[in-house]
Amino acid sequence: MGDATAASYNYKMFKCFHRKFKTSEAGPPPDVKDIFSKFANGGELMSPDQFRAFLTDHQAEKPKDVSLADAKRILHEFSLRRQPKDPKDSKDKTPAAVAHHEQGLNLDDFFHFLFEEEFNGPIKRQVHHDMTAPLSHYFIYTGHNSYLTGNQLSSDCSDVPIIKALEKGVKVIELDLWPTSSKEDVQVYHGRTLTTPVTLVKCLKSIKEHAFVKSPYPVVITFEDHLTTKLRVKVAEMVTQIFGDTLYYPETEDPMKEFPSPEFLKHRIIISTKPPKVGEGSDRDSSEESERSDSDKDVEGKPAIDIKPVQSEAPEYVELITIHAGKPQGGLKEALAIGDKVRRLSLSEQKLESAAEDHGTDIVRFTQRNILRVYPKGTRVTSSNYQPHVGWMHGAQMVAFNMQRHDKSLWLMHGMFRANGGCGYLKKPGFLMHKGPNDEVFDPKRTLIATKTLKVKVYMGTGWHLDFSQTHFDTFSPPDFYTKVHIVGVPADCAKHKTRIIEDDWTPVWDEEFTFPLTIPELAILRIEVREYDRSEKDDYGGQTCFPVSELRTGIRSVPLYDKKGEKYASVRLLMRFQFESNLTSV
């Protein structure tokens, strides 16, 4: 290689690396400039009073929730965050400078404020649903085989995934109870598999320690019981000793006529399982009598589940059961019958889909007072998950997911339960609880018209250069980002769009808007995913997030992105706008 050629090559390489490491800071998009000018009345500074008008008029904050004093407080807190942490990074770090910033925002300050999720996030951070209705009125964040670290056949069983689930806000933990080989103790594992067990006592202690780290609302433990009478008595002793006054159970042995509310059950742990009958406590394998079976056998030819109190060989165990459970052992019509006592019914995802064909309104009517738990079909040995909306649109409170498998379905579940302050309980939409004068209820198979339109504008993104290495996406050039925007909900509402690809830019600006007509916005989830275009291989992952459409705050918002495991990136976020339009016209 000659000197000239080598020099040319080195120059090109220098340009590539220089281009890769150079991160230009994009300025405010046109909409942001226009909004600033409007509320600052054409001036160079947006005063606290003008800032308050922006929050109420453009961001649709309720005036009663944002007084002038509140606006000044927000500006004060933002001004403190706006200052560099290292005094050497700024000559303008004096209290006088902070006070000056509190007099209002210039365009650059306003632009940076919009990116601050703490002040300007896409959904509310607080619990704001009515929490005083019975448990059956709520969707509840529910785990499946909560003790498994991986697949359903050979992974380890541990309390670690239980702890992680509770820290995420999961409020229903499932434990499969089996005797040890000596028949003297109780262990937790997935029966008839090679999964290694964990002791029940370890799981219970971890539940007690982490049950309320995310929110004070109740934790439900569902037992799949394969025990002898002797061991059920031992479980009762464990549960009462470990949980103490935290454990809630009815004072009477009769099943309840109405479930308590999440508010009433704050800081309480409750047990849900099938009450054992006489003869189910022998030393033989009792898996046939457990509340469910992964084999998904047809439910024909057996009597419907009996929800009346039954004589038991372990009354100490039975009296601790707050939510009596079972699976259908007769015709589904009988299993869904409405009695005067409330209970929980379990169906596999397959059984639910089958039942929905002919019994959709019966399921909705059942879930208005009773609890329906849906669990993954037995063939999901890799711990994959399913589409949750079939359960939700029929009112199923416990749509049980494998929390250890970080697939797109789990992203949706994480997103759904970011609602209501992430407390693990979401009040079901009114149409699922409504009953007409002739006992008619919502029909999930009915064709509906779009009542609302969501407009989503993707302005720009930032933060990848801080959270990723410079060579993570491309070795010799900046990344080529694009954003995918999906609505996931009832079939009529599902839609997807994507922005154009912005080449060679760590701070991509798209400035594109998409429109989504919605028939049931109450159950729609907005899914956002950023990818990095790769010409030769699969596009690289650049972050994702999901939010319930019903929780979106209108206006321009800072949208944080998460990694594949659902952990929030420190810096990566999008600047987006959300607007709603009603499709209903007055006559």
Active site residues: 144, 190
d(CA 234, CA 229): 9
Residues 6+ apart with CB under 8 A from 512: 457, 458, 499, 500
**One-letter amino acid for residue 569 of the chain:** Y
Residue pair 319/253 in contact by the 8 Å Cβ criterion: yes
Q: How far apart are CA 557 and CA 115, in angstroms?
A: 7
Q: Which long-range contacts (CB under 8 A, 24 or more apart) does 99-102 make?
A: 101/75, 102/48, 102/72, 102/75, 102/76
Query: Per the structure block, which two tokens stand in for 572?
Result: 């990566």
CA dihedral 27, 32, 38, 39 (to 10 degrees): -100
**Secondary structure (3-state) at 229:** helix
Coil/strand/helix, residue 546? strand
3-state SS class at 392: helix
3-state secondary structure of 142: strand
Distance CA 156, CA 565 (A): 19
Q: Which two tokens stand for residue 550?
A: 């019903």
Dist. CA 584–CA 587, nearest whole Å: 9
Distance CA 544, CA 573 (A): 10
Place of tokens 């209290």: 95
* CA-closest candidate to residue 127, choices 164, 70, 169, 172: 169
| Concatenated DSSP letters of 161-220 | HHHHHHHHT--EEEEEEEE-TTSSSEEE--TTS-PBPEEHHHHHHHHHHHTTSS-SS-EE
Cα-Cα-Cα-Cα torsion 284, 289, 293, 296, nearest 10 degrees, comes to 120
Count of alpha carbons within 13 angstroms of residue 460, beta-carbon side: 19
φ/ψ region of 191 (left if φ > 0, alpha if ψ in -120 to 50, else beta) reads beta
| 495-498 and 555-562 strand pairing | unpaired
